[in-house]
Amino acid sequence: MEFPRVLAVAPGSPAERAGIQIGDELLSLNGEAPRDVLRYRLLADEATVELEVRRGGLDQMIVVDKLDGEPMGAEVHSAVFDRVVTCDNHCSFCFIYQLPQGMRKSLYLKDDDYRLSFLYGNFTTLTRFTEADLERVLDEGLSPLYVSIHATDPDVRAAMLRNRRGAVSLRWLRVLLDHGVEVHGQVVVCPGVNDGEVLDDTLLGVLDRFPELATVACVPLGVSAHNREPTMRPHTADEAAAVIDTIDAWQERFLSTLGRRMVFAADEYHLMADRPFPEAQSYEGFSQHENGIGMARMLEREVHEALAGRTDVGTGRQHGFFSWVDGAPATGYQAPRVTLRSRAGGRVLTDHKRPIGLVTGEYGARVLEPLLDMLSEAAAVEVRTVPVANHFFGGNIAVTGLLAGVDVARVLSDQPSDHRYLMPDVVLSQGMFLDATTPDSLPRTVEIVPTDGISLVGALT
């Protein structure tokens, strides 16, 4: 077990006033060694926090006096200080198995930890969930949680997870719902495995056994060029259309039975099938926005609202794939992807009279294309997309969030040197691309912009 290590101390905070320093190891808070950032936050919420601190090999006591519930102001190095509960499933569709070499080591860790589900929206299969975990979830109010369903038929689910406990672990989902825990579900749809009649049966099982679920997202199987499972393949356009039709039919059933749509198709399905996105209101609050559900409509709405002078309609910072792995600040439970508006060259650009390129993935470019005319008009310069094909992963990977620095560099090297380039922060975690490169290494200076339409319009104008 590690001890929480201080990465940053907020100026003027109780921690700074008490003398907490960057690099301090916090051995205990009020006599208890916290096992994760959740327990750390609860202990640090007290009005008086007695800290046993190790600094330079020497232990000392520091007392922090503050208001009850006031943030202490010390950011720690990780979300979990004991050991992440790793996944013991062997799913043929697991994206971790399809990662290329050369990425940050932490990205190869398969977790199945309910704590990371609560903190970052990571999906857990519940195959390693225990009575003690349930007790803590209920005692500390760890809600919402995110659960991988994939199939409600026990045999199909066990086969997909390649784990016999997959057949019975959804019993924990029933218990969580019985105790009022908000749970969002996910089905990774694999062609020929759990689509078609199996998907119908899964959604029937949701209605019959788990109607209290907040939402269920159906997302397509991602197949990289490094996939070694011959049965795993991308959807065809017709298969993507069939998934949309199935979900549309089940939305009507859920609406008539529960008064809400419950199940939603990822934006990728509409792009693959070349179908229009549903209207914004049909996403019922965009609860799984960063799982690719309704991103396109939310971006469109944010752009329109921002151009009209309204900036209070965005989704805000949400959870995201790979967002947790490199650290966990205590405040907000969200690892920042970037800390500077502009990373390359260490400077912020102020010349707004040059043509602008929006660096994005291939799917992102298709979403942005209908908005370019209004964005160009607002910026008073030409605004275009700079689509980046994902050679690093290959396969059918086309989402912006999985772009690697090597691919961005390849594309930018052929772009004009005197244009402005904006890039969404979803491609970064702790200032790094997935391949551990940074924007400083790119051949063109880029401005990092938060991944929402309001921030995009603000950067343009």
User: For the residues of 99-155, what is the DSSP string, one character each?
Assistant: PPSSS-GGGG--B--HHHHHHH---B--TT--HHHHHHHHHHT---EEEE-S-SSHH
> What is the DSSP secondary structure assignment for residue 103, as one 8-state letter?
S
b/e code 418-446 from CB counts within 10 Å (16+ = b): ebbbbbbbbbbbebbbbbebebeebebbb
Res. 459: pLDDT tops 80: yes
Average pLDDT across the chain, whole number: 89
Q: How far is CA 37 from CA 65, 67, 78, 211, 267, in A?
A: 20, 20, 7, 32, 33
More confident residue, 329 or 452: 452
Are 427 and 403 contacting, i.e. CB atoms less than 8 angstroms apart? Answer: yes
Q: Side by side, which strands form the sheet with 25-29?
A: 25-29, 48-55, 58-65
Res. 342: pLDDT tops 70: no
Are 189 and 62 contacting, i.e. CB atoms less than 8 angstroms apart? Answer: no
User: Residue 323 has what pLDDT?
Assistant: 38
Q: Domain-by-domain residue ranges, the chain?
A: 6-76, 96-293, 344-460
- Report the C-alpha gap between 198 and 261 in whole angstroms: 19
User: Residue 324 has what pLDDT?
Assistant: 36
User: Residue 181 has what pLDDT?
Assistant: 97
CATH class of 6-76: mainly beta
User: Residue 77 has what pLDDT?
Assistant: 87
- Report the C-alpha gap between 217 and 149 in whole angstroms: 10
pLDDT-derived band of residue 430, with 50, 70 and 90 as boundaries? confident
> What is the DSSP secondary structure assignment for residue 86, as one 8-state letter?
B
User: Residue 431 has what pLDDT?
Assistant: 84
Cis bond leading into 439, ω under 30°?
A: no
User: Residue 330 has what pLDDT?
Assistant: 32
Q: How far is CA 320 from CA 94, 323, 335, in A?
A: 16, 5, 10
Highest mean pLDDT among 104-118, 369-383, 425-439: 369-383
Are 220 and 266 contacting, i.e. CB atoms less than 8 angstroms apart? Answer: yes
First-to-last alpha carbon distance for the chain, in angstroms, is 49
Res. 367: pLDDT tops 50: yes
- Report the C-alpha gap between 34 and 383 in whole angstroms: 49
Mean pLDDT of 35-48: 91
What pTM was computed for the model?
A: 0.88
**Among residues of the chain, what percentage have pLDDT more than 90?**
77
Q: What is the pLDDT of residues 182-238, one digit of tens each?
A: 999 999 999 999 999 999 999 999 999 999 999 999 999 999 999 999 999 999 999
- Report the C-alpha gap between 361 and 392 in whole angstroms: 12
Mean pLDDT of 42-47: 91
Q: At what angle do helices 372-379 and 295-307 cross, to 10 degrees?
A: 30
User: Residue 344 has what pLDDT?
Assistant: 36
Structural tokens at position 182: 């908000």
CA-based radius of gyration for the chain: 23
Res. 19: pLDDT tops 60: yes
Are 224 and 180 contacting, i.e. CB atoms less than 8 angstroms apart? Answer: no
pLDDT-derived band of residue 352, with 50, 70 and 90 as boundaries? low
Res. 247: pLDDT tops 90: yes
User: Residue 89 has what pLDDT?
Assistant: 94
For the chain, percent helix, then strand, then coil, each to nearest 5?
35, 15, 45
**Among residues of the chain, what percentage have pLDDT more than 70?**
91
Res. 170: pLDDT tops 60: yes
Phi-psi label, residue 169: left if phi above 0, alpha if psi -120 to 50, beta otherwise: alpha
Q: What is the pLDDT of residues 277-335, one digit of tens each?
A: 999 999 999 999 888 999 999 999 999 999 998 877 655 444 433 333 333 333 333 33
Are 357 and 384 contacting, i.e. CB atoms less than 8 angstroms apart? Answer: yes
Structurally, at CATH architecture level, domain 344-460 sits in 3-Layer(aba) Sandwich (3.40)
CA angle 429, 288, 276 (to 5 degrees): 105
β-pair type (183-189, 145-148): parallel
- The helix or strand, by DSSP H or E, that contains position 62, with its residue range, turns out to be strand 58-65
Structurally, at CATH architecture level, domain 96-293 sits in Alpha-Beta Horseshoe (3.80)
